[in-house]
Amino acid sequence: MKINYDNGIKNIGNTARLKEVFARAGRGEALTIAFLGGSITQGSLASRPELCYAARVFKWWEETFPKAKFTYINAGIGATDSQFGCARAAEDVLSFKPDVISVEYAVNDENSPHYMETFEGVVRKLLGAENAPAVYTFYNVCYDTGVSAEEIHSKIAEYYGLPAFSIKSTIYPLLTSGEVKNRDITPDDLHPNDKGHEMVASVITYGLEKIRRGEIVNSESENCKKVAEESESGICETVSGGTPGNLPAPLTANAYEDSVRYRNQNAHIISCEGWTADDTKQEHITDIFKNGWTATEKGAKISFKVKGTCIGVQYRRTVQLPAPVAVARVDGEEKAKLDANFDETWGDKLCLDTLLDHGKGGEHVVEIEIIDAPEGSKLPFYLVSVISSGNPGPLFLEPSFAHTIWGGKRLREEFGYEEQGDDIGECWGISAHPSGESTVRSGAYAGKKLSELWERHPELFGNMNSKHDEERKYDRFPLLIKIIDAKADLSIQVHPDDEYAKVNENGSLGKTECWYILDCDEDSTLVIGHNAKDKKELEDMIDTGRWSEFIREIPVKKGDFIQIDPGTVHAIKGGIMLLETQQNSDITYRVYDYDRLQNGKPRQLHVKQSKDVITVPAKSASESVKNFAQTPENTVTEMYSCKYYTVSKVNVNGKLDLENDAPFLCLSVIRGEGKLGGSEIKKGDHILLPAGYGNLLLEGHMELVVSTAPGSIDNR
Ligand code: ZN
């Protein structure tokens, strides 16, 4: 019998973190080695715990580095998958701050997109841990059929640069060739016996030894090479060798990374009839039927409040028949029958059933009711936990500012921004544009630029990013939200449409924008449109500088909303403060700048392009302006909707519960203060609500301008 060990090294990945651990072990430091997985990791069918593969791999660490002091964490739980792994990784593994984590779920997960997502969730959670543990994986196999989730797990391992080892490529061929008899190494073709565990351990330690000796070096994945090329440092920092806060964009919708598990200490219970909380202490990680709830009577009901796009429920299936049956409902709708009868011999099982799979985000009510409690049931129904996933919070954004010849100081004095100078023209509140990026103020993504989140977390934006999925609509974050303080007049300008910009501006987007007047002087005006009746007159007026004849100035007041289509001549005049919602583009053609000088020189004009793109004749003035100063209280009033954006005004006086299913929402508080969910918000705040946030609860006395972009690819 000869194992071809080299075949077992499926992916070398980025070994930087592992090498760091080897170096520390060599120096005799104290290190913690953790093993996360299912029953094989737990040591099922090994005759003694110290004979299971995990204990044997741990022994390799001790023997290889005799000076170091190692701690062993076995976090294997039988018959559980990587979906549960996501929910328990923090408590069962990361709380020990392990330096190395082995993760395996290849015979617990299936080769399906669901398990690709849950495996990615657990891998991201481990790699992203603050102490930057080294993570590797390996793939067990069903010894009779050769089935495993290796194919789907490999995609994740390669993408994140995880070292990965395969049992299917090493031990399994010995069975198919007849060199080894199945029963010699596994009693049930799933769990190895002592001999089998020894062989599994040898495949892993062979790989670790090779990496330790430097006999195999980083064969960085394609993704890793790509990331390295694009990064400023030229190093792939985003995979297993890199820093925890720098994981690349997920391959899947990645709802499971932030899974939360609710048991009786932390659940939000709405009502409870006939259920008892089990408060007995959980002594060991495998002591799984603890801290849940039990019920024996038909009709017993318990309901919880949870938040998220994915919801699961864990309960016990028992071999002690007959057992009770329950149903699980989400928001009143039956989602699963939870049958506690387990017609097997190998023992009680912890079941995890999915109740909601990428459903609507936000708050849900989960109800569990016993519908059958047969006479002679020996055990009560055991409800272990409710798990919710996919529940991102609001992203508070720190704006950036533009100082301009026409700017003032009202953005500081009236909106409270800490920006110095008396020429602050623009606050870019929600921006992923390189000329002025917003950054996240606090929370898990603190300090990240919006464009970085767009690149690395497309799931926060409803996966609209065409860089990750060609079918999708946008190659950049689609909107840009500004507050503008015009102390003096802005230049007379016009923007191209997408088509013109694509051809003439290096594939850039055109620009459609709209304005909501926050404040203005009594007799304020704006330039919107022009008075030329045809193209010839237009060119004539521009060439001969008959500006007062050419431009159309119209009076405006507070609360006016103005849509500026591409091709519309426009200018903001002094004395006006407004909120601008626009396509994420900066292509502006300046038609006329009142012959002003900046640093002694006139600013550049774009006469030819302007003539090309100005719409003749202009849309009528009355069509362009609508007033929304007084909108009904505690209501959303849509101001405008086009193929680029929908912009609404929200007037809160008391409380407003808002339905929301948008791929993302941009919120800017323009007056007053109050609360969004549990967070305080006030005038001047810019907030991005990510996909899956769900319904909004707004309380207080305030006004907001809210916008989103159409997420559906049908609108392309
Ligand atoms: Zn403009």
* Opening angle at CA 10, ends 76 and 247, nearest 5: 70
Just give the CATH number of 395-627: 2.60.120.10
pLDDT tier at 471 (50, 70, 90 boundaries)?
A: low
Q: When comparing pLDDT for 328 and 161, which is higher?
A: 328
> Separation of 514 CA from ligand 1 center, angstroms?
8
> Separation of 590 CA from ligand 1 center, angstroms?
10
Just give the CATH number of 5-233: 3.40.50.1110
pLDDT tier at 15 (50, 70, 90 boundaries)?
A: confident
Tokens of 638: 């849509």
The rounded distance, in Å, linking the Cα atoms of 106 and 377 is 35
Per-residue pLDDT tens digits for 383-410: 999 999 988 889 999 999 999 989 999 9
Is the pLDDT score of 715 beyond 50?
Answer: no
pLDDT tier at 698 (50, 70, 90 boundaries)?
A: very high
Q: Is 46 helix (H, G, I), strand (E, B) or coil?
A: coil
Backbone angles phi, psi at 85, to 5 degrees: -55, -40
Q: Which of 48, 263, 590, 596 is catalytic?
A: 590
What is the rounded average pLDDT of the residues 83-96?
96
> Separation of 513 CA from ligand 1 center, angstroms?
7
The rounded distance, in Å, linking the Cα atoms of 21 and 37 is 21
Contact residues for 654 (Cβ-Cβ < 8 A; gap 6+): 633, 634, 699, 701
> Separation of 72 CA from ligand 1 center, angstroms?
62
Domains in the chain: boundaries: 5-233, 260-389, 395-627, 635-715
> Separation of 484 CA from ligand 1 center, angstroms?
11
Q: When comparing pLDDT for 242 and 209, which is higher?
A: 209
> Separation of 449 CA from ligand 1 center, angstroms?
24
Is the pLDDT score of 242 beyond 60?
Answer: no
Place of tokens 């929402």: 665
pTM: 0.80
b vs e for 20-52, b when ≥16 Cβ sit within 10 Å of the residue's Cβ?
A: ebbeebeeeeebbbbbbbbbbbbbbbbeeeebb
> Separation of 493 CA from ligand 1 center, angstroms?
6
Q: When comparing pLDDT for 403 and 712, which is higher?
A: 403
Q: What pLDDT, on the 0 to 100 scale, is given for residue 443?
A: 77
- Least confident piece of the model among 149-153, 666-670, 690-694: 690-694
* Alpha-carbon dihedral sign for residues 223, 226, 232, 235: positive
Q: Which of 270, 269, 289 is nearest to 280 (CA)?
A: 289
Tokens of 560: 């006016």
> Separation of 495 CA from ligand 1 center, angstroms?
6
395-627 and 635-715 agree in CATH topology: yes
Residue 569 near residue 591 (C-beta atoms within 8 A) = yes
Q: Is 355 helix (H, G, I), strand (E, B) or coil?
A: strand
> Separation of 570 CA from ligand 1 center, angstroms?
7
Question: What pairing do the DSSP bridges indicate for beta strands 601-602 and 551-555?
Answer: unpaired
- Least confident piece of the model among 14-18, 194-198, 311-315: 14-18
Pick the CATH number of 635-715 from 2.40.30.330, 2.60.40.10, 3.40.50.300, 2.60.120.10: 2.60.120.10
Class of domain 260-389: mainly beta
Q: Which of 381, 35, 447, 8 is nearest to 216 (CA)?
A: 8
> Separation of 516 CA from ligand 1 center, angstroms?
13
The rounded distance, in Å, linking the Cα atoms of 261 and 84 is 9
> Separation of 588 CA from ligand 1 center, angstroms?
7
**Alpha helix ranges (H) inside 349-474:** 410-413, 450-456
Tokens of 185: 């190494």
Q: What pLDDT, on the 0 to 100 scale, is given for residue 230?
A: 60
590 is catalytic: yes
> Separation of 470 CA from ligand 1 center, angstroms?
30
pLDDT tier at 220 (50, 70, 90 boundaries)?
A: very low
Tokens of 618: 């202009």
Q: When comparing pLDDT for 593 and 224, which is higher?
A: 593
What is the rounded average pLDDT of the residues 190-207?
97
Mean pLDDT of the chain: 91
Q: What pLDDT, on the 0 to 100 scale, is given for residue 232?
A: 53
